[in-house]
Amino acid sequence: MMRSLYSGVSGLRAHQTKMDVIGNNIANVNTTAYKASSVTFSDVFYQTTQTASGPNAATGKGGQNAIQIGLGSGIGSISTSIATEGAAQRTDNPFDLKLSGSSFFVVNSGGGNYFTRAGDFTTDEAGNLVTSGGASVMGWQVDASGNIVKDQVSALKVKGDAFTYTTPEASTKATLSGNLNSSDPSFKNGTVVAGITFYDSLGYEYLATVNIKQVDASNYTLSVGAITSTNGIGTNLVGTLDSADLKFNPDTGQILTTTSNFKMSFTTRALTADEIASGKFKDIATKIGDIALDTSGIKTYGDATSLTKTQDGKKVGKMSAVGIDTSGLIVASYTNGDTMVLGQIAVANFSNPSGLEKAGDNLYAATLNSGLFNGIGDDVTANNGSINSGQLEMSNVDLSAQFTEMITTQRGFQANSRIITISDTMLEELVNLKR
């Protein structure tokens, strides 16, 4: 009879533990990337009053099963449904990342590596990519050539002086192409048809105006007029450039020859206040260079005039945005059109992810049963996974299932409490036998 009391107590404890787990699941229904836990029960040690025996041919007696009395229930396991991926929640924050697949982000906190599915990352004052709890997000760095070096993972930096600007490049060539309508009367007097932008070695921007004048049906004169600075820093003086002759086939409209490999060669510098006031300019010594202008793409069809221009070179680029692609590459964009790879987010994979130990703050720690982290990490695409920027993984808690489990757990708790009250009543009757 005392055994039933203790069995009831063990049942109460087991069901209370299960209710604790259910309560924790419901409390984390909106926690980023939370993985629900579940409880299983197991029976505990049995008292054997008779062992099993086999048939005895000599006595003709048949076999008997063992007679055992159970001593209650206990917790068999508390497992985490890590393999069940939570739904995606769109945030449009480029540093909010959702993992597709079975991988984990690698983060470092207090000098130790931890693992998480919660990708609600941000940057700290030093420009490091960190979790909401301040742990550093780990990955691979780039070498001097911009290539990813997949050695030991280290903290990723996405902002800083080294990434703020890109180097400018001086322009060396430009292209003018398209169509000139030979019957357009405006070409008789010379028409400004294009402004070509180009850059010096310091990244300063200039605008050259291009004029085209028709000599006759087959011949045009192209000239580059004033070249002005668009930087808004002082007043710049530039020379006037020579012209070139363009000759076309009047039947096909195709260009035949140009008189030279047309180049824009000029020097420039900022004027002083005295020079501007007097109108007298000293020699200009700062040479920007020669820019070859290719006009071979110009034609003279009967269609409307339409010209396009291209040029190489670029001004100084300032970082304007940082994005993360599906492979975890961190790419910075700049105002001059440049892009720069800053690093790559590494992930960790485990042979038994259910063996990871919860460490709080949405973090997991590796154990002997999960498999240890090798310190290098994996490319997320190696296991057909991906990283989705602007999204977060939601909790995988199923509220309907949790409430159902809550009801059955409550009924189990009530049933075990009845075991105790009934056993107590029976003990009371036993005590009253002495009367």
Q: Does residue 8 fall inside a structural domain?
A: yes
**Range of 381's domain?**
88-165+319-393
Model confidence band, residue 424 (pLDDT cutoffs 50, 70, 90): confident
CB 234 within 8 A of CB 206: no
Model confidence band, residue 230 (pLDDT cutoffs 50, 70, 90): low
CB 350 within 8 A of CB 50: no
Distance from C-alpha of 373 to C-alpha of 64, rounded to nearest angstrom: 53
Distance from C-alpha of 225 to C-alpha of 213, rounded to nearest angstrom: 12
Assess whether 189 and 304 both reside in one domain.
Answer: yes
Q: What is the pLDDT of residue 189?
A: 66
Q: Does residue 213 fall inside a structural domain?
A: yes
Q: What tokens were used for 317?
A: 């680029």
Q: Does residue 94 fall inside a structural domain?
A: yes
Q: What is the pLDDT of residue 285?
A: 38
Assess whether 157 and 105 both reside in one domain.
Answer: yes
Proportion of the chain above pLDDT 70, given as a percent = 82
Q: What is the pLDDT of residue 233?
A: 45
Asked whether the predicted pLDDT for residue 260 surpasses 50, the reply is: no
Q: Does residue 413 fall inside a structural domain?
A: yes
Give me the residues paired with residue 425 across strands.
none
Model confidence band, residue 289 (pLDDT cutoffs 50, 70, 90): low
| Rounded mean pLDDT, 223-236 | 60
pTM: 0.76
Beta-carbon contacts of residue 36 (< 8 Å; ≥ 6 apart): 25, 80, 81, 84, 395, 396, 397, 398, 402
CATH number of the domain that residue 183 is part of = 2.60.98.20
| Rounded mean pLDDT, 89-111 | 96
The pLDDT tens digits for 318-347 are: 999 999 999 999 999 999 999 999 999 999
Assess whether 239 and 287 both reside in one domain.
Answer: yes
Q: What are the C-alpha distances in Å from 360 to residues 31, 357, 365? A: 12, 9, 10
Q: Where among 311, 337, 359 does a domain terminate?
A: 311
Q: What is the pLDDT of residue 428?
A: 86
Average pLDDT, the chain: 85
State the residue for tokens 């009053």: 49
Distance from C-alpha of 321 to C-alpha of 390, rounded to nearest angstrom: 14
| Number of domains forming the structure of the chain | 3
Asked whether the predicted pLDDT for residue 266 surpasses 60, the reply is: no
Q: What is the pLDDT of residue 73?
A: 92
Q: What is the pLDDT of residue 281?
A: 40
226-230, 277-281, 305-309: range with highest mean pLDDT: 305-309
Q: What is the DSSP string of 10-43?
A: HHHHHHHHHHHHHHHHHHTTTSTT---EEEEEEE
Q: What is the pLDDT of residue 347?
A: 97
Assess whether 161 and 264 both reside in one domain.
Answer: no
Assess whether 372 and 341 both reside in one domain.
Answer: yes
| Rounded mean pLDDT, 384-395 | 96
Q: What is the pLDDT of residue 276?
A: 43
Asked whether the predicted pLDDT for residue 409 surpasses 70, the reply is: yes
The pLDDT tens digits for 119-149 are: 999 999 999 999 999 999 999 999 988 899 9
Model confidence band, residue 234 (pLDDT cutoffs 50, 70, 90): very low
Assess whether 152 and 199 both reside in one domain.
Answer: no
Q: Does residue 60 fall inside a structural domain?
A: no
Lowest mean pLDDT among 34-38, 75-79, 230-234, 247-251: 230-234
Assess whether 127 and 74 both reside in one domain.
Answer: no
Q: What is the pLDDT of residue 1?
A: 61
Q: What are the C-alpha distances in Å from 401 to residues 16, 304, 306, 373, 391? A: 18, 70, 67, 34, 25
Asked whether the predicted pLDDT for residue 3 surpasses 90, the reply is: no
Q: Where among 311, 342, 360 does a domain terminate?
A: 311
Model confidence band, residue 257 (pLDDT cutoffs 50, 70, 90): low
| Rounded mean pLDDT, 25-47 | 94
Q: Fill in the amino acid letter for 1.
A: M
DSSP code of residue 385 = -
CB 170 within 8 A of CB 199: yes
Give me the residues paired with residue 287 across strands.
267
Assess whether 191 and 281 both reside in one domain.
Answer: yes
Q: Where among 311, 343, 364 does a domain terminate?
A: 311
Assess whether 223 and 199 both reside in one domain.
Answer: yes
Assess whether 365 and 415 both reside in one domain.
Answer: no
Lowest mean pLDDT among 242-246, 396-400, 420-424: 242-246
**Residue whose C-alpha is closest to residue 207's, from 218, 215, 197:** 197
Model confidence band, residue 253 (pLDDT cutoffs 50, 70, 90): low
Assess whether 224 and 205 both reside in one domain.
Answer: yes
Assess whether 307 and 344 both reside in one domain.
Answer: no
The pLDDT tens digits for 183-210 are: 777 766 667 667 788 888 888 888 877 7
Distance from C-alpha of 285 to C-alpha of 247, rounded to nearest angstrom: 35
